[in-house]
Amino acid sequence: MTLILGLEGTAWNLSVALVSEESVLSEAESTYKPKYGGIHPREAAQHHAAELKDVVSRALRSAKEEEEEFSLASIDAIAFSQGPGMGPCLRTVATAARALSISLKIPLIGVNHCIAHIEVGRWQCGAKDPVVLYVSGANSQVLAYRSGRYRVLGETLDIGIGNALDKFARYLGLSHPGGPKIEDLASKGTDYIYMPYIVKGMDLSFSGLTTAAKDAIDAQPDKKEDVCYSFQETAFAMLTEVTERAMGHLCKDEMLLAGGVGANSRLQQMLQTMCEDRGGRFYVPENRYLKDNSAMIAYLGLLMLKSGNTTPLDKSQVKSNYRPDDAEVTWRN
Ligand code: ATP
Ligand code: FE2
């Protein structure tokens, strides 16, 4: 059995997990919650630095409770999120990962966070070769695997859908994260208000939608529910359209949803309908594997270790703009 300790801390969630081929042995986390406004990268990094020791200890302790024979010597490698993410947060977690790798004398593995979202979904759902819709705060991409890389087939040209929802939620005076609160309000909306639908080829744009939603609230402050409903219907239809086109172009019949925004039930419903209509299969993992988590980092670390893909210390610098198509996929053929 191979056992990997994974560290995640690209943004506001600090998380540590122990994962083997069979299961997630343990996972512990600590979430930075901004007092007001959005995530401040330096404050989030300070949170991670202060909490790291405790979160690592909790993950180790619950591994021991789960499996009597577990000890530090059972760990085969240390995996960490090398990017993309907020520079100060990434550097804090990478420093801890290097220290653990050096002191335990085991390999270090720098993981691409986006690909970790994909691989944990494939693992948990049993999808083989899906078109992936990866939707989170900072990212919105449609991807598929071909010839040693996850290729980005379409993506946002400005902000991620999660950030678009969070920004609008903040305008409504709601606290971070805004996505679930918008989902709540949207479920009570009934009338569609016009919103700009921006798909350019395979790419998407969401910042105009946020502006339009703010304008709609200024014009009709009592129509919160309808504006949230219209925002969601428009943004999710855009995402569904591009995902469907990717499935059509590539003749693939599996579709996997990944990333924190994937928890949205209206988005899941639209994608499910699209997949059913074309005779395809729709896969979505449990919420704990959609949002940022360290089990996914440890799991991708495991795939990388087994395919001989480790990261020497002098190549372990963080990459805040690390694109999924920049990472070589050594564990699929
Ligand atoms: P990444 O580094 O991959 O961009 P992230 O830091 O944005 O990840 P995630 O946990 O993947 O973290 O996603 C967080 C986003 O998901 C936030 O923007 C949040 O508002 C959004 N979100 C969470 N639940 C829902 C929901 N039910 N509906 C819509 N958005 C949601
Ligand atoms: Fe993420």
Residue 205: what residue type? Answer: S
User: What is the structure's pLDDT at 36?
Assistant: 77
33 alpha carbon to ligand 2 midpoint, in Å? 16
Q: Which atom of ligand 1 sits closest to the CA of residue 292?
A: 10
**SS3 of 206, please?**
coil
Terminal-to-terminal C-alpha distance of the chain: 23
Structure tokens at 171: 């305008």
Nearest C-alpha to atom 10 of ligand 1 is from which residue? 291
Measure 289 CA to ligand 2 centroid, in angstroms: 10
Helix (H) or strand (E) holding 110: strand 108-112
How would you write the pLDDT of the chain (333 residues) with one tens digit per residue? 999 999 999 999 999 999 999 999 999 999 998 877 778 999 999 999 999 999 999 999 999 999 999 999 999 999 999 999 999 999 999 999 999 999 999 999 999 999 999 999 999 999 999 999 999 999 999 999 999 999 999 999 999 999 999 999 999 999 989 999 999 999 999 999 999 999 999 999 999 999 999 999 999 999 999 999 999 999 999 999 999 999 999 999 999 999 999 999 999 999 999 999 999 999 999 999 999 999 999 999 999 999 999 999 999 999 999 999 999 999 998
CA distance 150 to 262: 19
| The predicted structure's pLDDT at residue 46 | 96
Nearest residue (CA) to ligand 1, atom 9: 260
Which ligand has the nearest atom to the CA of 161? Answer: 1
Which CATH fold topology does 128-288 show?
A: Nucleotidyltransferase; domain 5 (3.30.420)
DSSP E strand boundaries for 215-303:
254-258, 281-283
Q: Which residues have any ligand 1 atom within 6 Å of their CB?
A: 10-11, 85, 113, 136-139, 162, 165-166, 177-180, 183, 259-261, 263-264, 291-292
Instruction: Give yes or no for a contact between 216 and 193, defined as CB atoms under 8 angstroms apart.
Output: yes
pLDDT at 107: 98
Q: What is the pLDDT of residue 34?
A: 81
Q: How far is the CA of 283 from the centre of ligand 1 (A)?
A: 18
Per domain, the residue ranges of the chain are 4-117+290-326, 128-288
- Residue 323 burial (C-beta neighbours within 10 Å; 0-12, 13-18, 19+): middle
CATH class of the structural domain 4-117+290-326: alpha beta
Q: Indicate if 128-288 has the same CATH topology as 4-117+290-326.
A: yes
Q: Rounded to two decimals, what is the model's pTM?
A: 0.96
Q: Which of 13, 17, 12 is nearest to 296 (CA)?
A: 17
C-alpha to C-alpha distance for 44 and 68, rounded to whole angstroms: 34
Atom of ligand 1 lying closest to residue 291 CA: 10
Burial zone of 94 (CB within 10 Å; 0-12 exposed, 13-18 middle, 19+ buried):
buried
Phi and psi at residue 77, in whole multiples of 5°? -165, 160
Residue 38: the pLDDT is 75
Q: What is the pLDDT of residue 37?
A: 73
- Please tell me the distance from the alpha carbon of residue 275 to that of residue 147, in angstroms, as a whole number: 25
What distances in angstroms separate CA 259 from CA 138, 286, 319, one per listed residue? 10, 11, 19
Q: What is the pLDDT of residue 133?
A: 98
Q: Which of 47, 133, 136, 257 to mutate to test the pocket of ligand 1 (most atoms within 8 A of CB)?
A: 136
How far apart (Å, rounded) are the C-alpha atoms in residues 46 and 60? 22
The ligand with the least distance to the CA atom of 177 is 1
CB-CB neighbours of 57 under 10 Å: 12
